[in-house]
């Protein structure tokens, strides 16, 4: 049985509550700073040592700063990096104290340098429409990041005990647990602990490089952290609550960042109908018009220069809402394959260009459509799905009739523009309550 509401837009008001929810969350974390759920005491009561009180305050303060830095990072405020760095320092003290030396060293020597690098990168990017250049994961990048996670997990599994000995020498035996002495299930806890650190580094690396899927990795990391601090490693209610908070924020930001739908359409070779151009301009599309290569003979330097300029234009178009590409990069890549080359060296150079720019193009935002006119030089190449499935969602072969093809383009674009107005939140709530 589905619940129906008279006002179909009721769920949009939920989004306006986010400031209130964030405020309540901060108040709860401040309370958590003063009251220890793990010891069941106020921070000034009981027989807790000064070190235990310090660690309790550090982990709670790091949670507050962590939440604020994540929220500020989502809205591109430089203060996010300052709070993130302080958060990393405070959480490091907690990690060292509980025998998680690898997390402490990772925060000091990896998180903080990466935060500084991101801060520098953000400052530079803010000169260009205040937006981040982003990439889309493809088969190659996914394999690379999975492999990196696997290697780092194995490395940290063996490094963790030795780093913990270093932490004991620095802070003293009375302030740092011996590695694994507080784990409920030593072997599985050691693996999960190593995996959490590996996932954190991979997620941060993806954020620096501009991969939107980094939020997905943070969500996975938070799930394993919940498992670890929920009792597989050791039970720590404060850290458990913090990870639940981070998980909710990560899911929210994943929905927000994936909600920025942009309509991206390409025409194979040149848009040769004036009426089509007039319609697109009326819809306020950003038109990316490129020079078509007219080379009869393969020249490596010239082709590389053309492909490089086309890729640069595609990256530039990330900051536009609706984009139309005329003579798209994929057309040039497909055209390269047509060269009948006798020289082995030229063939190797040609194949290198094809491979290089295919990977580069696959990292860019996927097109919604490529429209193929019958006059296209690559008409036959687009009939093979393998040539385009990594770069666009759909290919449409247009009619030879000008009026009919224009109407088809108009209908498709109108449908896509209507889809853009529906947010992820609306989609979710409509499925539940429509």
Q: What would the pLDDT profile of 199-230 be if each residue is shown by its tens digit?
A: 988 988 887 777 878 888 988 988 898 888 88
**C-alpha pair distances (Å), 273 with each of 86, 276, 353, 403:** 58, 5, 31, 10
pLDDT at 151: 96
Q: Can you tell me the mean pLDDT for 268-290?
A: 71
126 compared with 43, residue with greater pLDDT: 43
Nearest CA to 371 among 316, 411, 339, 312? 411
- Mean pLDDT across the stretch 236-262? 72
The model's pLDDT over 280-317, given as tens digits with 9 standing for 90+, comes to 777 777 777 665 554 567 788 888 888 988 888 888 88
Helix (H) or strand (E) holding 287: strand 286-289
Confidence of residue 74 (pLDDT cuts 50, 70, 90): low
| 144 pLDDT above the threshold of 80 | yes
3-class DSSP state for residue 217? helix
Taking the C-alpha atoms of residue 389 and residue 382, their distance in angstroms, rounded to an integer, is 10
Write down the pLDDT at residue 11. Answer: 44
Write down the pLDDT at residue 12.
44
For the residues 70-74, what does the mean pLDDT come to?
A: 71
- The pLDDT assigned to 1 comes to 37
Between 264 and 419, the more confident residue is 264
The predicted-structure confidence for 233-242, as pLDDT tens digits, reads as follows 877 777 777 7
What mean pLDDT is predicted for residues 322-336? 87
> Using one digit for the tens of pLDDT, what is the confidence trace for 344-360?
898 899 999 999 999 98
In the chain, how long is the greatest CA-to-CA distance? 86
75-79, 156-160, 288-292, 372-376: which is most confident: 156-160
Contacts of 179 (CB under 8 A, 6+ apart): 99, 101, 160, 161, 164, 165
Residue 160 pLDDT grade (very low, low, confident, very high; cuts 50, 70, 90): confident
What value does the mean pLDDT take over residues 130-138? 66
What is the predicted pLDDT for the residue at 199? 93
Pick from 200, 250, 243, 224: which is nearest to 70 by CA?
250
More confident residue, 264 or 238: 264
pLDDT band, residue 129 (cuts 50/70/90): low
Q: What is the mean pLDDT of the chain?
A: 76
Report the candidate in 357, 332, 337 with the shortest Cα–Cα distance to residue 266. 332
Among the listed residues 289, 282, 219, 220, the one whose alpha carbon sits nearest the alpha carbon of residue 254: 219
Rounded mean pLDDT, 166-185: 74
Q: What is the pTM of this model?
A: 0.69
Rounded to an integer, the average pLDDT of 133-155 is 86
The answer to which of 12-16, 147-151, 203-207 has the lowest mean pLDDT is 12-16
The Cα angle at residue 230 between residues 72 and 61, in degrees rounded to 5: 35
């Amino acid at each position: 049985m589905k619940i129906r509401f008279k006002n179909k837009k009721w769920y949009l008001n939920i989004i306006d509550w986010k400031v209130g929810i964030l405020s309540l969350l901060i108040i709860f974390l401040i309370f958590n700073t003063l009251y220890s759920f793990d010891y069941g005491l106020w921070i000034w009561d009981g027989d807790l040592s000064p070190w235990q009180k310090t660690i309790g305050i550090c982990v709670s303060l790091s949670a507050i700063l962590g939440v604020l830095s994540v929220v500020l990072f989502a809205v591109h405020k430089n203060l996010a990096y300052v709070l993130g760095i302080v958060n990393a320092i405070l959480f490091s003290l907690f990690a060292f104290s509980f025998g998680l030396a690898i997390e402490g060293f990772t925060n000091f020597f990896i998180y903080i340098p990466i935060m500084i690098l991101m801060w520098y990168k953000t400052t530079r990017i803010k000169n260009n429409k205040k937006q981040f250049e982003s990439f889309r994961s493809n088969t190659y990048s996914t394999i690379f990041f999975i492999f990196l996670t696997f290697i780092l997990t194995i490395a940290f599994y063996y490094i963790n005990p030795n780093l913990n000995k270093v932490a004991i020498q620095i802070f003293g035996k009375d302030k740092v647990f011996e590695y694994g002495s507080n784990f409920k299930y030593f072997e599985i806890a050691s693996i999960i602990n190593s995996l959490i650190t590996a996932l954190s580094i991979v997620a941060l690396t993806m954020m620096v490089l501009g991969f939107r899927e980094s939020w997905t990795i943070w969500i996975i990391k938070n799930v394993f952290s919940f498992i670890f601090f929920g009792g597989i490693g050791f039970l720590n209610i404060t850290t458990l609550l913090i990870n639940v908070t981070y998980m909710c924020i990560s899911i929210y930001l994943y929905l927000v960042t994936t909600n920025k739908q942009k309509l991206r359409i390409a025409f194979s070779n040149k848009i040769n109908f004036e009426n089509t151009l007039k319609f697109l301009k009326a819809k306020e599309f950003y038109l990316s018009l490129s020079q078509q290569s007219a080379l009869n003979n393969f020249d490596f330097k010239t082709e590389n220069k053309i492909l490089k300029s086309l890729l640069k234009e595609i990256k530039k178009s990330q900051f536009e809402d609706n984009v139309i590409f005329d003579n798209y990069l994929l057309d040039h890549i497909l055209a390269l394959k047509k060269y009948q080359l006798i020289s082995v060296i030229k063939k190797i150079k040609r194949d290198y260009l094809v491979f290089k720019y295919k990977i580069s193009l696959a990292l860019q935002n996927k097109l919604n459509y490529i429209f193929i006119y019958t006059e296209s030089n690559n008409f036959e190449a687009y009939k093979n799905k393998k040539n385009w499935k990594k770069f666009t969602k759909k290919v449409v072969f247009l009619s030879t009739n000008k009026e009919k093809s224009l109407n088809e383009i108009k209908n498709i674009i109108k449908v896509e523009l209507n889809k853009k107005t529906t947010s992820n939140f609306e989609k979710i709530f409509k499925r539940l309550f429509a």
